[in-house]
Amino acid sequence: MSFGRNPHVAKAEAAEQKAHAARDGAAREQAWRDAARQWERAADRETDDKRRQQYTDKAEAARATADGAPLDAESSTTQDASPNPARGLLN
């Protein structure tokens, strides 16, 4: 057991990093939902009202991102596909 630290904050941040690194929409959505769950757990353990509200807001944002993840994943792959060939050309 840690002293004075909320272990769910680190877990939520790790889940967010995992969501950013996910390659497909389903994995991204699952990682964002895991991050939201961890942010909620962090908020439940928090005694400071200001931090509890911040963690709750982050949980809601992560859940909203998870709901929009499949659409964002498709649009980001189509947007990234066109600039990549142009980067290779110098002249």
Cβ–Cβ < 8 Å for 63, 82:
no
pLDDT digits (tens, 9 = 90+) for 40-65: 999 999 999 999 999 999 999 999 99
11 neighbors 38 (Cβ within 8 angstroms): yes
pTM value is: 0.69
pLDDT exceeds 70 at position 66 = yes
Q: What is the CA radius of gyration of the chain?
A: 17
